[in-house]
Amino acid sequence: MNTLVTGRRLARELGEWRSAAPAYRALADRIRVLLMDGRLASGARLPAERELCTALALSRTTVAAAYSTLRDDGYLRSVRGSGSTLVLPGRDRGEHSLHPGMALDFSKATAPAYPGLAAAFTAAAREMPAYLAHDGFDLVGRPDLREAIAQSYRDRGLPTSADNIMVTIGAQHALNLVARTLYSPGERIMVEQPTYPHALDTFASVGARVVAVPVTQQGGWDLAEALRQIRRAAPSMAFLMPDFHNPTGMSMSVHEREYLAAAAQREGTVLVVDETTAQLDIDRGEMPPMAAFSPTVVTLGSLGKLAWGGLRIGWIRAGRDVLAQVLRNRPASDLGTPLFEQLVATELMRQMPLMTANRSRDLRRGRDTLVGLLSHSLPQWNITVPNGGLCLWVNTESTSTSALALAARTEGLGLVPGPRFGVDGAFERFLRLPFGYGDDQLAEGVGILARINSQVGTEPLRLPLQAVI
C-alpha cells in the first residue's frame, strides 16, 4: 500500500521553496528534489490538491499546475479515484540507481577500500570451510570478533567485555535495532540539527516525533537547548555523532560530552552515540568515547567508513540488559550477521592501527585538496576546515543547493542538497562535499560546481526530464 503524504507533512518538508520563478514551477521543482534525495519515497501518494492548497495557502490553480508539471516530466502518476503517486523515472526500465549516468557521485561521504582488504577476504575464504558445520544463523556475533571489538574500546580507555557487544549488518542496521527496542509509540527522539539523513529515515519509520538540537561550526553543540529539550520533551533516546559529526565535521569537547551524558542520565534519556566516523581523525587527536561518561550510553560502530562501505559489519556496544532486549527483538528483522563477513572483520580488527593511519593520510590529502580547489574556484563560499571526517559542510552564502543539485545532474555530478540533512527543510544554503576521492575527481567536481554556480544563483531551476534522471 502506498504511503500517503499529508499536506501538513509536505508543507514541512518543502521548507524554503519559493523563488523568483512562478509559484507552480518552484513548487514542482522542490517536490522533485524531495523525491530525488529521498525525503519523499517513490510510490508515495501526494495529498489531494485541495488539501495542499490549504496547507500552503495557495490557490488550487497553482497546485494543479505544479502537479501537472510533475506529470508532464514523468515524476507523478495520477489515476482518477486513486490520487497522485510519485515516480522515479527510469525505475520501470529496470534502472536501480538514483544517479544513472553520473560520472561523479558526490552524494556519498565514503572513501576507497583499505588496501589490505583483499588479503583479509582471501584469509577469510581459507578459514570459511571450517565453519560450514555451523547452522549459519548468528544473532550475537562470533566470540573472537566481539572480543576484538571489545579490545578496541579497552585500547581507548573504556572497559568493555565481549558480552557488551552485538555484531550487526552495518551501523544503520544497528540503529534500526536500537530504535525499535528503546522507542515506544508517542515518545520523542532528540537529534542534532543537521544530522545524518538515514537516522531521520529510521526514526520516521517507527513514527517518532523528533526534537532538534543545533550544531554549528562556530559554536558546536547548543548545550542549553539540549538541556531544555531533554527536560521539556522527555525524549526516550537521543541520537548523537560526537566525533567528526556528519555533515558538519565538528567534534564534541570533553566538557560537552560530560555535560550531555550527565544530563541525559539524570533525566532518563538514553544517548545513542554513532561512532562510525570516530576513527577518521586527521589532526584532532584522541578523544574519550561518550560512553566513558555514563554507563547508560549505547554506542554504534562500523567498519564501513574505515575499511570499505561494502563490508556490512557493524556493532552495538551497550549494557547486557539492553543487548538482551535487542536480541529478543532482532529475529523480527533479520536472522543474524553473515559468518564470512565476520571472518573478514576479525582479521581487519587486528589491523586497526594500520587502517586508521592509512585512512588518516588519504583523508588529509583529500581535505586539503578540496579546500584549495574551492578557495580558488568558489572564493565566495564559506568553508570551515574540519580536523577529521569525510566531508566539508560548505555555506554557499546565497546559492540554493536544491537548485545546484538539479543543475549538477546535467553535468554528470551527483549531489545531495543541504535540506536532506535538516529537520523541516533547513540548510538550503549548505552543501555537503565529500573529500574521500582522488585529486582528479575532486578537481573535476569543483570545476562543474564553479561553472554552474553562477547560472543557478538563488533560484531553483526547472530542468527537462532527460537532464535529471
CA 69 centroid distance within chain: 30
* CA proximity to 431, closest of 386, 394, 380: 394
Q: Per-residue pLDDT for 459 more than 90?
A: no
What's the CATH code of the domain at 77?
1.10.10.10
In this prediction, what percent of the chain has a pLDDT beyond 70? 93
Q: Are residues 284 and 165 in the same domain?
A: yes
Question: Please, are residues 15 and 425 in contact by the beta-carbon 8 Å criterion?
Answer: yes
Say yes or no: 413 and 448 in one domain: yes
CATH number at residue 424: 3.90.1150.10
Query: Can you give the pLDDT at residue 102?
Result: 60
pLDDT at 2: 61
Boundary residue ending a domain (329, 350, 371)? 350
Answer yes or no: is 183 within a domain. Answer: yes
On the question of pLDDT at 94 being above 70, the answer is no
Give percent above pLDDT 90 in the chain.
73
State the Cα–Cα distance between residues 279 and 352, nearest whole angstrom. Answer: 9
Give Dmax (Cα) for the chain.
Answer: 69
pLDDT 10s digits, 360-416: 999 999 999 999 999 999 999 999 999 999 999 999 988 989 889 888 988 999 999
Same domain, yes or no: 309 and 359: no
Average pLDDT over residues 55-83: 88
How many domains are there within the chain? Answer: 3
Please give the residue range of the domain that contains residue 214. Answer: 121-350
Pair 29, 168 in one domain: no
Last residue of a domain, one of 320, 350, 380: 350
- Quick one: pLDDT at residue 81? 72
CATH of the domain at 294: 3.40.640.10
Please check whether residues 293 and 372 belong to one and the same domain.
no
In a domain, 380, yes or no: yes
Q: Is residue 98 part of a domain?
A: no
Grid coordinates of 80: 482518477
In a domain? residue 452:
yes
Q: How high is the pLDDT of residue 180?
A: 95
The phi-psi region of residue 212 (left if phi > 0; otherwise alpha if psi is between -120 and 50; otherwise beta) is beta
Of 306, 322, 350, which residue constitutes the final position of a domain?
350
Cβ contact 212:190 at 8 Å: yes
Q: Do residues 270 and 173 both lie within one domain?
A: yes
Spatial distance between the Cα atoms of 291 and 159, rounded to a whole number of angstroms: 10
Give the model's confidence band at 287: pLDDT under 50 very low, under 70 low, under 90 confident, else very high: very high
DSSP assignment of 247-265: TT-----HHHHHHHHHHHH
E strands, 295-341, are: 298-302, 314-317
Structure confidence by residue, pLDDT tens digits, 148-200:
999 999 999 999 999 999 999 999 999 999 999 999 999 999 999 999 999 99
Q: Nearest-CA neighbor of 131 among 116, 145, 113?
A: 145
239-250: per-residue pLDDT in tens? 999 999 999 999
381 plus 334 within the same structural domain: no
Between β-strands 413-414 and 104-105, what pairing exists: parallel, antiparallel or unpaired?
Answer: parallel
pTM for the full predicted model: 0.82
CA 361 to chain centroid: 24
Specify if 1 maps to a domain. Answer: no
Q: What letter does residue 398 receive in the DSSP assignment?
A: T
Q: Are residues 342 and 200 in the same domain?
A: yes
Q: Pairing relation of β-strands 270-274 and 298-302?
A: parallel
* Residue 213, strand partner residues: 192
Judge if 271 and 345 occupy the same domain.
yes
179 and 314 in a single domain? The answer is: yes
Please report which confidence band the pLDDT of residue 461 belongs to, taking 50, 70 and 90 as the band edges: very low
**Residues composing the chain:** 469
Cβ pair 272, 203 in contact under 8 A: no
Q: Quick one: 250 and 331 in the same domain?
A: yes
> Is there a domain that residue 2 lies in?
no
Residues 343 and 375 in one domain: no
Confidence band, pLDDT 50/70/90 cuts, at residue 30: confident
Stretch among 81-90, 108-117, 134-143, 365-374 having the lowest mean pLDDT: 81-90
| Residue 164 within any structural domain of the chain | yes
Is residue 428 included in any domain, yes or no? Answer: yes
